[in-house]
Structure 1
Amino acid sequence: MPAEVEAYLRGTGWVPFDLRPGKASYWEYIGSRSSEEFTVTCVLDRSMRDYAERTAELLALVGRVECRSSGEVYQSVRDVGYDVAELQIERADARDGTIPLRDGVKAFEGALKLYAAAAAAVSERRPYFGRLLTGSVSKFVSKSARLGQTRVGSYVITIATRVADAQRELPFAVPTEAFERQVMRRMATALEVARQAAVKNTAQAFFDGIEHGVSANLCDAVAGMAEGDPFVQLNVALQWSLVQPVEHGVPRHLSFGPELVNNLREGSAHLRFQEPLSGFQLIGKVVRLERWPNEPAGTVGIDGFVDSETELVSVTLNKEDYAVATESHRAGAVVMCVGELKKTGRGYSLLGAHSFGVVGGGQAATTLSRRVKSEEPI
């Protein structure tokens, strides 16, 4: 605790004027709005009889300077070596600090996906990550990212990542940032760029954000945390470790209102199909048949389900599969095939189609209305 206290004092503008090694250090602070000077004593020996009393006095005085309670200062001191994100879900029915269980589960899942998307984007920029929880990303969300206590303020999810030990500043620059700090930086930048893209609400704005870490996964994560209420607002507050401070231009507060959340969902749809999805299982009905004269193979148009929406997907089939497609078109049967889904202009194509076959007809056409992939998004 003494090391954390000293690191916090140093990071918030206090200056040491006396040091008694192993015993105590003495600090002063001159208020920016007045010439009033404050001094505190940081007891370094925890075995001293008045350690708890002196530390309580220090927290109270620092709280007075910062216009905060001792408890809030203590929380900041405890987290001095951590980068902390506070994800505030602001909605009418959360004013008492609670939210419906189902929406709460989605909120925590969204927080997990947000950090996973940021971690994946540290080393690779992609419009969509088919599978996130692998390798270093899985290790990060399993070990490094830690859930803190929720708190009142509508409903606030707290996540902390340790980036440094609470120790005196090193006399030299750290050559590389810890992976935990890189994730936090990437998340901050990607969220800011995603917010700007949502304001513009154009596909190109989201595409331009890919190089900054914007992905369909990140957009889905933010939208997922805002599920359950059409008027919900998500506020993100980022607190950077005082042991390894960041420059002032790094984002610290971002807000996503209902309109921006909806625009992020649309942005996700644009991004998701900029990169082919392998192992995509297309289910739908053949609505178009195209084949050149004397050619055994042909192309069919399948009115299938892509991301829960009905889309026309072009599929090239061999002679045998084309014959099956022709018969299924005549009978109005539902078909299924597997391949690599790719966005092409305003439509979609399924490349390398295989496992083509009839699923069923009639009522089956209305019941098989969901997308199935071999790879889950997380």
Structure 2
Amino acid sequence: MRNYLKVTGWTPVSGGDVAELWSLPGPADEVVLVPMKAGAPDFGKRTQILLADLARVEARDLTAVHDAVATVFNDVTDLRASHPSMSDGSIPLEAGYELFISAKRLRVASAAATIRRQGHFRNFPTRAREQAREVRLGQTRRGSYIVPIISQARSPEDVYSPRQEHIEVGVEETLFDRRVTATMSRALGILEDMAGAEREPTPSEITDSIGEGVSYELCTALSKVVNTDSVRSLDVSFNWSRVAAPPPGTPPRVEFNRAAIDIVDRVSAQLKTRVYTSRHLIYGIVTDLSRHPEDETGRVGVQTLIKRRSRTVWMDLLDSDYHVAVQCHDAGVPVRVQGVLTNPPGGQATMQVDDFGPDPSLPASQAE
């Protein structure tokens, strides 16, 4: 509650262990009381009064304010299936089943692409399959038929400090959820752009889309919903946590109707039949830097999670990438590295790097 008040412009003016008073600058001079003792007999009553006050000030429905407070530390991805026949807020059983199953498919496919860029995942990485057990589904809502996917987010100030010496497993686990949501948003945005273009995507454009997280499995998840008889379109809205700004370059909303799905199906068919070399992605912090003045490359160690265990991956970077590594190390900015990963049991993990830079899943202020 206190974090929600903070990000919506309120400031504490007085209080102690039992309660705090917060004010909202403005002509109305609004003041609310925040109960601090969860075990107090009147805690529930005082909380309801506080939510009612916020609903009045924000001119919003009480349920909407409650949900916004409850998910202040979460990213919420809304999947909305629509058709004229859904005016009563219900949905046919078959369409509802496909919507829920596609929520899982979209999430797992995006998690797989967050770990490895690949056009067709015949077998998902274990970490990707685990996403379906870790994210949550919120209560369905009216508005045609909306299914919310709730995942963790983390405030930028809770990430890493300059010259951080090691990663924190808890931080990385939370950041993985945010990275998956960012991958999903960018990949669906690319598919929407290709579906809305005046011409069909070229084979090279489809190949390039893999680098943004598009895969056969992601395309199939979309098609399964929109191709049911009772669904006319599917739109996906990304409601990013109020305590962690949206990742740069991510669309807030995408939509796919029957015509768009025709293009998605063609992209899907090409991704399924073609053979692509997969590229691994690792995320972490730069912990080791070594370079002699006369060397063309510098040796860099990036500490990351591999199979949920901390590992240092070593790589040789050319001048420009090495300077980026130095800057990220000095600022405590997490990095994302793409390339061919070699991780022998009991041996040193290394990577041949294709792309190196700040983690684009984090807000621009953290990734610059």
Q: Distance in 1 between matches of 2:43 and 2:90?
A: 37
Q: Which structure 1 segments of 5+ residues have no match?
A: 278-378
Please show how residues 270-349 of structure 1 align to structure 2 within 5 Å.
270-275=270-275
C-alpha distance in structure 2 between counterparts of 1:192 and 1:264, whole Å: 12
For 1:257-268, list aligned pairs within 5 A.
Answer: 257-268=257-268
Question: Residue type of the partner of 1:98?
Answer: S
Matches of 2:37 and 2:263 in 1, distance apart?
Answer: 55
Q: 2:129 aligns with which of 127, 138, 142?
A: 138
Which residue in the other structure is 1:202 paired with?
201
Aligned to 2:229: 229
For 2:130 and 2:158, the matched residues in 1 are separated by: 28
SS in 2 for 1:109: helix
Q: CA deviation at 1:58?
A: 1.6
* Residue aligning to 1:94: 86
Residue correspondences, number: 265
Distance 1:38 1:256 in 2: 43
The question of whether the paired residues in 2 share the 8 Å contact of 1:194 and 1:206 is answered with: no
For 1:199 and 1:111, locate their aligned partners in 2 and report how far apart those are by CA, in whole Å.
Answer: 23
Taking structure 1 as reference, are residues 230 and 94 closer, same or farther at Cα in structure 2, changes over 3 Å only?
closer
Q: 2:114 touches 2:179 (CA, 8 Å); kept in 1?
A: yes
Distance of 1:161 and 1:55 partners within structure 2 = 24
| Deviation for aligned residue 1:237 | 1.4
Deviation at 1:184, TM superposition (A): 0.7
Structure 1 89/171 Cα, relative in aligned 2: closer, same or farther at 3 Å?
A: closer
1:99 CA displacement = 1.8
TM-aligned CA distance change 1:123 to 1:171, over 3 Å? closer
Structure 1 segment 150-169 matched on structure 2, within 5 A = 150-164=140-154
Inter-partner Cα distance in structure 2 for 1:207 and 1:163:
30
Letter in 2 for 1:162: Q
Matches within 5 A, 1:18-97: 18-20=14-16, 22-30=17-25, 35-97=27-89
Task: Determine the C-alpha separation between the residues in 1 that align with 2:225 and 2:10.
Answer: 38
- Give the distance between the partners of 1:44 and 1:9, measured in 2 at CA: 14
The separation in 2 between residues aligned to 1:97 and 1:30, in whole angstroms, is 39
Deviation at 1:198, TM superposition (A): 1.4
Gap change, CA 1:30 and 1:106, over 3 Å in 2: same
- Report the RMSD for the aligned CA atoms in angstroms: 2.6
Q: 1:231 to 1:161 in 2, by over 3 A?
A: closer
CA distance in 1, matches of 2:214, 2:46: 47
Task: Please state how far the C-alpha of 1:49 moved relative to its aligned partner.
Answer: 4.1
Q: CA deviation at 1:208?
A: 2.1
Q: Is the 8 A contact 2:227 2:258 kept in 1?
A: no
SS at match of 1:260: helix
Partner AA of 2:192 in structure 1: R
Partner residue of 1:149 out of 129, 133, 139: 139
Structure 2 alignment gaps of length 5 or more: 162-167, 278-368
Deviation by residue 1:306-361 (Cα, 9 ceiling, x = unmatched): xxxxxxxxxxxxxxxxxxxxxxxxxxxxxxxxxxxxxxxxxxxxxxxxxxxxxxxx
Letter aligned with residue 105 of structure 1: Y
Match of 2:138, as an amino acid? G
| Deviations, residues 186-243 of structure 1 (Å, cap 9, x unaligned) | 1111111111121123134332211110112111111212122386111111122233
Q: Which amino acid aligns with 1:72?
A: A
- The 8 Å contact of residues 226 and 257 in structure 2, kept in 1 or not, is answered as no
Structure 1 position 128, deviation (Å): 1.4
Q: CA deviation at 1:276?
A: 6.9
Residues in 1 aligned to 2:157 and 2:35: alpha-carbon distance in whole angstroms: 19
- Kindly tell me: are residues 186 and 46 of structure 1, through their superposed partners in 2, closer, same or farther at Cα, counting changes over 3 Å? same
Which range is displaced more, 65-74 or 237-246? 237-246
Contact 1:89 1:235 in 2 (8 A): yes
CA–CA separation in structure 1 for the residues paired with 2:259 and 2:29: 47
Cα distance, 1:264 vs structure 2: 1.0
Aligned partner of residue 236 in structure 1, secondary structure = strand
Q: 1:25, 1:275 → 2: CA distance?
A: 61
- In 2, the alpha carbon distance for the partners of 1:24 and 1:247 equals 35
Cα 1:186–1:57, aligned 2, differ >3 Å: closer, same or farther?
same
The 2-side partners of 1:43 and 1:248 are apart by: 36
* TM-score normalized with structure 1 length: 0.64
Q: Percent identity?
A: 30
